[in-house]
Structure 1
């Protein structure tokens, strides 16, 4: 299988290997996927601003016209040298997965095909074809762990010529991690703020660094609604540690299922395919797979039951503020478990 473990990806990307001209980067952290994609671009030798050598495509457009990917991948560079075809926003599309299988079996000469995807299950067609292909490499990009965060912080501090005390580092770490690019941006902003001071203090961190982990709300809603139960404990931990308002999360859940109710009505009343209903909503590519999974799993009665439960939980959280976190945790877990059961029944 042509794949690397999460901790091996940075080492692989530091030594460009053109024997794998088809590269798939996937994972729940879009910032990390994007940052590593930029590393591939730098090592490719292709100028990012050269329209003849660097082509950027959207995965949803390729699903409607997959022939364009083959045309771009097999086009010779006008002025010689390698070409780079970058595909963004990939997910569970079958046409792209089949194209990866073909390109991995018969790789294009002098061209790198770089695909950026969201979180893909082990059985996802795109991931499977990339791992099986002799000329393809699948690279997982998972959420930053403490060691990875510390390494990124150290890199930025070294470039700025700054040190940081232990308390400040712990405070900084607690506010980072939801998205690699956003996290790096916050550290760079902190370094600029402290430039010339020599050492960053906890007061500096609290004054300038935003709470990047607030983005976890959308991740938690998507995981619960689509039945990704295994992700919920870690996401809940991040929500609690970041001090996220329980009302903020319950409000996001309520809005998600209200929208799902409208879409489900269209599926059941008109027989419109799930993918077509989601396409008309034009969700952000990061959230699209979860929305499709949720819309396929929940029927109208199930959505109505969740909305009733959420209204009860929101009222309970307001009346019993000391239990708000417990109620939030229960809401996410119960919804996630029910979604997982529904998806399991649908697969039988």
Structure 2
């Protein structure tokens, strides 16, 4: 079977091997998949800005017109040299899987076909066909482990001519999520901030590096509670890709609505304005608008219903671990939809 184990992928990509012209990168972390795809592009020798040699295709488009993939794969470069076809957004489409099987059995000359996919099960057609193909290689991209995260930090520190002690490194790692691109972006921002210092200290991290996963949890909670439904799919995707536990998110939702219940009681019993109640809570300035919107939208009975629902969902996600992400997604979306309805009624 033509596949590498997760810990072997970086070493394989560091040594270009044209004997496998069909490459499949897959995994739950889209940032890591994309970053490794960029490594393939870099080592391919094909100019990334040459639209004739470097062609980017979307998997959904190919499912509707798979003939285009064969046309592009068999096209000879106008000025000679290798061509690179980069297919993004692959999943469980049958047409692409069948086409890849044909191309892996009879690969085109001087052409690399690079496929970026999400988390594919072992039985997924695309993964199965690549692993069976004589000229294809499947490369699993799993979420950052400690060694991979340390290696990424070392790369950025070396490029910037900086260093850090062990305690500072531990502090930095604790603030990084599992999305490779987001984590690398935070480290690069830190290195730019500390450029010229020689060594990075803990106060530098406190000043410039946000907690990637925690910030997204807060954003998702605020969006759901205030009815910003359109933001939720992207935020949920970030939470899932960063490896955030469903219990962490459900717990944050529960605490938010418990606090909202106390504040709502003050509004309803004392007639205190919403803005004054929120001001006394002293929330972070980024969260204040969402908190005011949520407090104005939800009444006491509505908040109580949400709290009962969250307690039920937390228990259910513990009992049905395989469905925990689905339960979490449903909790956020349904709470967000109800909040949007309440805000719409209040504006009438």
Output the TM-score relative to the length of structure 1.
Answer: 0.68
**Residue 88 of structure 1 aligns to a residue in which SS?**
strand
Bigger radius of gyration, 1 or 2? 2
Counting only pairs closer than 5 Å after superposition, residues 57-206 of structure 1 correspond to structure 2 as 57-206=57-206
Deviations along 1:5-51, whole A, 9 cap, x unmatched? 00000000011110100000000111110111011011111001111
2:19 aligned partner: 19
Partner of 1:292: none
| Cα drift, residue 178 of structure 1 | 2.3
Paired with 2:90 and 2:41, the residues of 1 have a C-alpha distance of 18
Question: Over aligned residues, Cα RMSD in angstroms?
Answer: 3.4
Question: 1:256 matched to which residue of 2?
Answer: none
The aligned counterpart of 2:51 is 51
Distance across 2 between alignment mates of 1:37 and 1:329: 37
Match of 1:333 among 285, 305, 318: 318
Identify unmatched segments of 5+ residues in structure 2.
221-232, 258-302, 326-348
Q: 2:68 & 2:255 partners in 1: Cα distance?
A: 41
Distance 2:196 2:98 in 1: 54
For the 8 Å contact 2:2–2:136, the answer to whether it is kept is: yes
Please give the alpha-carbon distance, in whole angstroms, between the structure 1 residues aligned to 2:38 and 2:175.
24
Residue 10 of structure 1 pairs with residue 14 of structure 2: no
Match of 1:315 among 298, 303, 307: 307
Residue aligned with 2:7, SS: helix
The superposition leaves residues 69-98 of structure 1 with CA deviations (integer Å, 9 ceiling, x where unpaired) of 000011000000000000000011010111
Deviation by residue 1:239-293 (Cα, 9 ceiling, x = unmatched)? 74xx996219999xxxxxxxxxxxxxxxxxxxxxxxxxxxxxxxxxxxxxxxxxx
In 1, Cα distance between the equivalents of 2:105 and 2:254? 48
- Structure-2-length-normalised TM-score: 0.68
1:236–1:329 CA contact under 8 A, matched in 2: no
- In 2: Cα distance, 1:3 partner to 1:198 partner: 41
Please tell me whether the aligned partners of residues 220 and 236 of structure 1 are also in contact (alpha carbons under 8 angstroms): no
Aligned 1:176-255 pairs, distance under 5 A: 176-214=176-214, 235-236=244-245, 240=248, 246-247=252-253
Query: What stretches of structure 1 of length at least 5 have no aligned partner?
Result: 225-230, 252-310, 318-323, 341-348
Q: Which runs of 4+ in 1 moved over 3 A?
A: 214-224, 248-251, 311-314, 326-340
8 Å CA contact 2:250, 2:314 repeated in 1: no
Q: Distance in 1 between matches of 2:200 and 2:108?
A: 49
Distance (whole Å) between structure 2 residues aligned to residue 157 and residue 223 of structure 1: 26
Inter-CA distance 331–250: structure 2 relative to 1 (3 Å threshold) = farther
Separation in 2 of the partners of 1:89 and 1:27? 12
In 2, distance between residues paired with 1:221 and 1:159? Answer: 33
For residue 305 of structure 1, what is the aligned residue in structure 2?
A: none
**Residue 142 of structure 2: SS of its match in structure 1?**
coil
C-alpha displacement of 1:339: 8.1
